[in-house]
Structure 1
Amino acid sequence: MGAAGPARLEFALTASVHFLFVLLTLGLVTLVAIMQTRYARTGDAELGRMTRFWGLLYVINYAVGIATGLVMEFQFGLNWRNLGGAFGDVFGAPLAMETIVAFVAESTLLGMWIFGWGHLGRRLHTALIWGVALTAYLSAGWVLVSNAFLQHPVGYAVGPDGVARLTSFAALLGNPTLGLALGHVVTAGLLTGGVFVAGVSAWHLRRRPDDPLFRRSLRYGLRTAVGGGLFVVAFGGPQYAVIDALQPAKLATGARLANLQADLAARFGPGDYAPPAWIQHARDLMMELWLLLFALAVVAALVLRRRALDRPGSRALLRALVWAMPLPFVAAVCGWLFREVGRQPWVVYGLLRTSDAASPMSAGALAASLAVFGALVAGLAVTDWWLLARYARRGPGDEFLPDPGPVGADPVAFSAAEA
């Protein structure tokens, strides 16, 4: 098995868990920004309460998610030393940009948004949450720039010392594996955030069908889930043509896969270049879950808009929305496994095998690293979901965010003293 096996297992665990935080962050911050924009324009007290409630859940997920990202950063230096030594100058550049965006710009804007309630004018305060959303998208974008290089290396040159160095940042940004993947991840985040908001709202509405805050939140969540579901497949489907052109073995089966195996062995030397067969099942499950979630969101959006929520059919839909909350995360992990495991045996496609990228570590050190980091990231995931479940069940009114201020004030025009 060597060092690569445990190192891959450890990274798969931490990356999968961290990816779940990212998806919910992207979706929730967008919904919070939309809610606050409408609150700033109308002064509607219910929208202000919605912004604070869902904003609290977003802040919890963001804060714990940052910790899981730090765990991933440690692994590059500990478990994948040869990858960093050979290609770190290239794929490390966008990761450095992501660190600046996530840990400096995004965190700073979020802190100003949290403590700016009641102290900043509404337009400025609303601009802050949109700044947080934009930097969240940028952060995801830089990570995918780095990942796209691993999928299809471009914009580099290998020096006499065997170290790759960046020669064209524009080539990195124009990587054919980047644009559609970024759109797919962002819209998957919107689908995830929409299903989460709809599911939490449905949980409350089963107990209090006339709760105005969660009735409105349910509409926001379902509309976002429908829109995200439409666009996630619009960005996902065209990726198959790119994959077939650049990594054909990822999609091939049967005789075609056997021919590709022979061609790749002749090109790169002896070895097994066929990805594991189970990734096709992961891809199929991802698409089946998307269809189920999209159909549920469309039906719920149409039916619950016109019917009383205490009727048996409506209650069954509300129950289904609650149980559907984990499904976007399962679909996302399936998609990630298809993208990452499907390019094996390469960590940098066509240039560096995964077995050659791992750090030379003893079996004891590998076991200790897997145990420590695995327990840490699992603990963070449990903590996040416990906090989210606790505050989601309590409902609005227990947020640490300050009161948004008087509703009767003009939401658009505010004085310099207010700002």
Structure 2
Amino acid sequence: MDALDVARWQFGVTTVYHFLFVPLTIGLSVLVAILQTMWHRTGNERYLKLTKFYGKLFLINFAMGVVTGIVQEFQFGMNWSDYSRFVGDIFGAPLAIEALVAFFLESTFIGLWIFGWDRLPKRLHLAAIWAAAIGTNLSAYFILAANSFMQNPVGFRINPESGRAELTDFVAVLTNKVALVTFPHTLAGAFLVAGSLMVTVGLWHVMRNRDSADTGAYRFATKLGSWVVLISSALVILTGDIQGKIMTEVQPMKMAAAEGLYTTESPASFSVLTVGSLDGSREIFALKIPYLLSFLGTGDPNGTVQGINDLQAQYASQYGPGNYAPIIPVTYWSFRFMIGFGLAAAAIALLVLWSQRKGRTPTSKWLLRAGLVMPALPLLANSFGWIFTEMGRQPWIVFGEMLTRDGVSRSVSLTEVLTSFTAFTLIYAVLAVVEFKLLVRYARAGVPDVTPQSDDDDTDDAERPLAFAY
């Protein structure tokens, strides 16, 4: 083990951990805005209660996401300084816009939304949560644009004197075809997570507090969350199909590794299950669906999909001697776990909707247990999706331009990286416990009382301290 291995593990652990909060923040911001819009248009207190209830869960998650996200930026300079020098001119623009515009927009208006209850006009207060939601989604786009450059470098040139990548076309970076399809795919995955949390909390209250005056609100939340999960699942599949075709075009090795396809095939079969050799160099047994991979990869059932061995020979001739295939078992299984966990969440949502048809109240303990684990399923799907995306690109840190081994900081020792990795892992473990306990505590507390306060208090409103209005 060397500094490169530990630096990769550290970035992988901190990134996956951070991304546990990102999709929930993205999805819940919009769902909370929708609930508040429904209250604004109808005046029904049910929607106001749900707005404040899920709004509190959103804020807890948002705060944790901000804390864990800060670490990501420091790692670029600490552990990956050579990489930062190489892509700094490219990454600087989208990440600066993300920080100055998108993050500023969401953080400012979240503050207005938190402290603006009963202080701002209703329309202005509603606009604040929508502005925060828009900022959250814009933030995701600029970050994904930067990441997409690593998958498909565009809009740049290599300076022969400095050896750095220099930005020549910012519009090309923002309109990178990988970014254009990754963004809706990521958003769909985010709503899958947010909808699942909404289903879990609502279903728990519906089944455990059947005689509660707020049962109607929980039933609505459960149905809304279920529909969000089903619709977003369909969108994940649709955008994933487009993404697969683009991936076959710009990163054929990743597609070949995802399918355990060692030799070029036309037509190519989709692997339901492939067992390979321990070194990942050849196929031993495979269960396949004919023509499906060709259609998924090229849109043509008879299309040609390049294999690992042929691409390895091509890349060795193009880039020089070396192994240009990712770790096949990791890429292969992370791709299938991503799909499997996402479909499992959709299946539970369908069962929840069926259990509440025609006003029925679900009673199955097995459904409740499935509902309680439901939020973990899309979170796992999102995590394995990113593991597949990043591990499938290896050994490149910027595809075709810079190898991962060339991007690590040369002045950082194994001991230093190992120390920071251990410290961050322990801190994140503590934060995970805090996050989980806070979410469970406030989720179990239920919707708040929104009865207007008495006007007998003569205290001037301007003199009242700012406080969370929950």
TM-aligned CA deviation for residue 46 of structure 1: 1.4
CA contact (8 A) 2:94 2:142 kept: yes
TM-aligned CA deviation for residue 137 of structure 1: 0.4
Aligned position for 1:85:
85
Q: What amino acid maps onto 2:173 in structure 1?
A: L
TM-aligned CA deviation for residue 102 of structure 1: 4.8
Aligned position for 1:296:
348
TM-aligned CA deviation for residue 39 of structure 1: 0.2
Aligned position for 2:254:
250
Quick one: distance in 1 between partners of 2:69 and 2:94?
A: 15
Quick one: distance in 2 between partners of 1:241 and 1:387?
A: 41
Aligned position for 1:410:
none
Quick one: distance in 2 between partners of 1:118 and 1:372?
A: 43
TM-aligned CA deviation for residue 307 of structure 1: 4.9
Deviations 1:235-280, CA, capped at 9 Å, x for gaps: 1111111111111111212222111111111111111111111211
Quick one: distance in 1 between partners of 2:309 and 2:126?
A: 56
2:339 to 287, 308, 329: 287
| 1:3-402 correspondence to structure 2 within 5 Å | 3-159=3-159, 160-210=161-211, 211-252=215-256, 253-255=261-263, 256-278=307-329, 279-312=331-364, 315-360=365-410, 361-397=412-448
TM-aligned CA deviation for residue 157 of structure 1: 1.5
CA contact (8 A) 2:103 2:136 kept: no
- Greater RCO (CA < 8 Å, at least 6 residues apart): 1
SS at match of 1:177: helix
TM-aligned CA deviation for residue 203 of structure 1: 1.6
TM-aligned CA deviation for residue 169 of structure 1: 0.7
Q: What amino acid maps onto 1:254 in structure 2?
A: Y
Aligned residues: 400
TM-aligned CA deviation for residue 121 of structure 1: 1.6
Runs of at least 5 residues in structure 2 that lack an aligned partner in the other structure: 264-306, 454-470
Q: What amino acid maps onto 2:394 in structure 1?
A: Q
CA contact (8 A) 1:86 1:164 kept: yes
TM-aligned CA deviation for residue 20 of structure 1: 1.2
Quick one: distance in 1 between partners of 2:13 and 2:321?
A: 30
CA contact (8 A) 1:71 1:377 kept: no
TM-aligned CA deviation for residue 201 of structure 1: 1.1
Higher gyration radius (CA): 2
Quick one: distance in 2 between partners of 1:396 and 1:311?
A: 22
CA contact (8 A) 2:6 2:414 kept: no
CA contact (8 A) 2:355 2:361 kept: no
Q: What amino acid maps onto 2:381 in structure 1?
A: A
Which shows bigger deviation, 57-66 or 276-285?
A: 276-285
Quick one: distance in 1 between partners of 2:104 and 2:255?
A: 39
TM-aligned CA deviation for residue 323 of structure 1: 2.1
Which shows bigger deviation, 106-115 or 91-100?
A: 91-100
Deviations 1:274-332, CA, capped at 9 Å, x for gaps: 111121111111112222222221232233132532544xx533332222221111111
Quick one: distance in 2 between partners of 1:152 and 1:310?
A: 48
Quick one: distance in 2 between partners of 1:382 and 1:75?
A: 24
Runs of at least 5 residues in structure 1 that lack an aligned partner in the other structure: 407-419
SS at match of 2:157: strand
Q: 1:404 to 1:17 in 2, by over 3 A?
A: farther
Q: 1:103 to 1:137 in 2, by over 3 A?
A: closer
TM-score normalised by L of structure 2: 0.82
CA contact (8 A) 2:355 2:362 kept: no
When the two chains are superposed, the root-mean-square deviation of aligned CA atoms in Å is 1.6
